[in-house]
Amino acid sequence: MPVRKAIVTAAIGLHARPAAVFVRAVTATGLPVTISKDGRPGVDARSLLEVMTEDFECGCEVELAVAADALPASCSPAEAEGALEELRILLESAAAA
């Protein structure tokens, strides 16, 4: 299962605008990405409502994942790893802040 850890750097966490930017980026990958923290089950990172209600605050470490059995046939594990890396960079950059 492709997985990446990231630190949320947006001052307000993943709420409102930062969450919308992140969800659009996840949706653009075409992958069923989940996001979680503190060992809790992941939520669908393509859902603005689910992301905003999970309280991913500034400074928290999150885990981005794509279940290997959920990868579309047209996507290799290496491509999924690359997509997760781009999402990690987004969460840790000013673009999502």
Chain-centroid distance of CA 62 in Å reads 8
Q: Which of 3, 4, 12, 15 is catalytic?
A: 15
Q: Which of 49, 76, 54, 73 is nearest to 64 (CA)?
A: 54
**Is 58 within 8 Å of 4 (Cβ atoms)?**
no
Please, what sign has the CA dihedral across residues 67, 71, 76, 78?
negative
15 noted as active-site residue: yes
Sorted by sequence, the CB contacts under 8 Å of residue 85 that are 6+ apart come out as 4
Catalytic residues: 15
